[in-house]
Amino acid sequence: MAPHRRSRPPSPMGIRTPALATAALTSVALLSQTANASPSEEPRPSLEEVEKKVGDLYRQAETASEKYNAAKEKTTKQKKRVDTLLDDVARRTEKLNDAREELGTFAAAQYRTGAAAPDTASLLLADNPQDYFDQTQLMDRLTSRQKQSVDDYVTQQTATTEKRREASESLETLTRTQSSLKTSKADVQRKLATARDLLSKLTTEEKARLAAIERQKQEEAQRKADELARQQAADAERRRQEAAQSTGTSTGTGTSGSGSAASTAKADKALAFARAQIGKPYVWGASGPGSYDCSGLTQAAWKAAGVTLPRTTWDQVKAGTTVSVNSAQPGDLVFFYDDISHVGIYIGDGMMIHAPKPGAYVREESIYYMPIHSVVRPA
């Protein structure tokens, strides 16, 4: 006989064993947590990362601002050229109409006398009068006065056609430059908005820590400025001693590295203007009088001294003589970053006046606050 086995009673519908029930409950809990969690939140950036990102954005915005300034300056020049060309076209068109009217008078007279009116009428309708002359004997049938009128007409039409072509090309160039202007403006606004958004998400504590980092940067920059001031003072004293020792053996009256009285006077005027702007807000694309960006301030300062500087940092850096940082004199322009996207005006002792960045005001600051690219003495 087969061994007796007790059959296992089937579990009622919906009833699970304890192990299965526990696993099912765990799965439900995990699914619930997953459903309630926010979808793939990005990790919150550290304060150092925010500080670097904001700084980079401000720099990028300033570079875009210089592109905007360049496009704006170019647009202004091109618009003047277009306006001049259009005025010229209008004057030439008026002269062309006068010449056409005089030819029409001759055509009417020829018609009344039975002369070659169709030839003259065809001339007025011809796209190229000179080609028409080459194909007919009209000139042989005209009086000297009529010939002069025809010559005037041909000259005016040729000149008007050429000026219209120039105006059309200039308008196309202006349109492209205006498009570049809009692109640069949108780029600045986008970067500044991103920077403001990052700063707005900082807690009060983080903002305080960020301010502390800023103070440390300024203190370090000031320390380097003080070192430069001491070095420049020592160099000046050495030059004075060398000049005193050479008295009687040299006819020179100046000292090495010193500028002429005229250039010094101009630098003084530029600095006086720059100091008067301290406290005015930085506004990208602005060149005064109520607000400035960096190159707008330096341009306006030297304009007050009677020196015309270009609008952008990239052009201003070429508008003078490059000197070493140790040889910098008040009034010199100090440029920053590898892309030459910022500029300030040197006031001595390692300090400058500049329009720093969005949200800040024109102020005095150490030239070592940013990486120096070069120093230029305006011509």
Catalytic center residues: 294, 342, 354
Residue 247 dihedral angles phi and psi, to the nearest 5°: -60, 130
> What is the distance between the terminal CA atoms of the chain, rounded to a whole angstrom?
122
Whether omega before 43 lies within 30 degrees of 0, making that bond cis, reads no
CA 262/CA 147 separation, integer angstroms: 62
| DSSP notation for 200-257 | HT--HHHHHHHHHHHHHHHHHHHHHHHHHHHHHHHHHHHHHHHHHHTBTTB---S-TT
- As a whole number of angstroms, the distance between CA 178 and CA 339 comes to 23
Radius of gyration of the chain from Cα atoms?
A: 39
Which phi and psi angles does 346 have, rounded to 5°? Answer: -70, 140
Please check whether residue 295 is in contact with residue 335, taking contact to mean a CB–CB distance below 8 angstroms.
no
Q: Are β-strands 342-348 and 363-366 bridged in parallel, bridged antiparallel, or unpaired?
A: unpaired
Quote the CA–CA distance of 225 and 223 in Å, as a whole number.
Answer: 5
Residue type, 69: N
How far is 155 from 103, CA to CA, in rounded Å?
14
| Alpha carbon distance 73, 69 (integer Å) | 6
Distance (Å, rounded) from C-alpha 379 to C-alpha 364?
24
**Given CA atoms 335, 341, 345, 350 in this order, what sign does their dihedral have?**
negative
Rounded Cα distance, 287 and 308, in Å: 13
